[in-house]
Amino acid sequence: MAREWADRAGEMEVLVRVVEHGSFSAAGRELGLTPSAVSRIVARMEARLGVRLLIRTTRALTLTPEGEAYHRAALRILDDMAETERAVTDQAAPRGRLRVTASLSYGRLFVVPLLAGFLERYPGILLDLSLGDAVVDLTGGQADVAIRVGDLADSGLMARKLGDSGRVVVASPAYLARHGTPQAPEDLAAHNCIGFNWRRTRLGWPFRRDGRDFELAVSGNVEANSGDTVVQMARDGLGIARVGAFVVADDLAAGRLIPLLEAYNPGERETFHAVFLGGAQVPARVRAFVDYLVENLGGAKDGRQARPILAGPGAEAGVTPA
């Protein structure tokens, strides 16, 4: 059994090199193997797994969907093995590829400005950042750290709190000049409300009147899949939007957007967490990045105080199960 697991680690290395170089011969040259030996190793993997990993043509090698999933997992496993070996040989400075995912808005405003300082502190890390509002599968090896907004589902993941933000209803001065300013939530029925096109647990927009919370259905003729896009539409005068306050902080301060119906704001908060796989051997590169986020997002950065709508991590920034 031990030999079988050792062989599997070697097989993973072969597949990673084949994908990296795009050919059996180039991978073989790096690994000291013949192209036919590389081909036999890949064929042995496919036979054991019962799926095809690569589509071979005379011009290219392409991963199948199953191959893509296996390749992602292999990268993570090989990185973790290398991290473990460095740790036990007292070369534990964080190194290797670190795959991070965050929403477009949060990543652009809060993660990207921290990268220069982080990479200066940890030059051995190659940071692979993906920004988008799709939820990635950490347990499937699609990323090492994900920054998620809102309540966390019960899982085997660990989380560090980064802060929280309220939500606000906004519109541009130009839109309000054309269509008027709603004075009560019910007035939204006469307005074009910009929506999100993903499936939502809440169908309407929440409000509070006289201490009672209620939801109000809204409608409009445009939807989008990211907060940044919805905010741009609102700035362009397409309609009224309800978005995270952190996304529009600069627009509100500059007067490009106007807050609406604040007397009816229910005061809900959305929490931001850095989420990652836990366990006894969290890679040093993951610990370093999460610690750096917690260290910086509650204090000064880029010569100015962090946006007040984001609460500092403080005592609530401890590790908790996600």
What is the model's pTM?
0.63
64-102 pLDDT per residue, tens: 999 899 998 888 888 877 777 766 544 557 888 999 999
Name all contacts of 79-86 with Cβ < 8 Å and 24+ positions apart: 79/283, 80/281, 80/283, 81/9, 83/281, 83/283, 83/284, 83/285, 84/281, 86/284
- Selecting from 1.20.1260.10, 1.10.357.10, 1.10.10.10, 1.20.1250.20, what CATH number does the domain 2-77 have? 1.10.10.10
Contact 286, 276 (CB under 8 A): yes
For 151-204, the pLDDT digits (tens) are 666 567 888 888 888 999 999 999 999 999 999 999 999 999 999 887 655 678
Q: Which residues of 144-162 are buried (b: 16+ CB within 10 A; e: fewer)?
A: bbbbbbeeeeeeebbbbbb
Domain ranges, ordered by start, for the chain: 2-77, 93-165+270-321, 167-264
Equal fold, 2-77 vs 167-264? no
Task: Give the fold, CATH level 3, of 93-165+270-321.
Answer: D-Maltodextrin-Binding Protein; domain 2 (3.40.190)
In CATH terms, 167-264 corresponds, of 3.40.50.11750, 1.20.1420.30, 3.40.190.10, 3.40.50.150, to 3.40.190.10
pLDDT digits (tens, 9 = 90+) for 113-154: 999 999 999 999 999 999 987 777 777 778 899 998 876 665
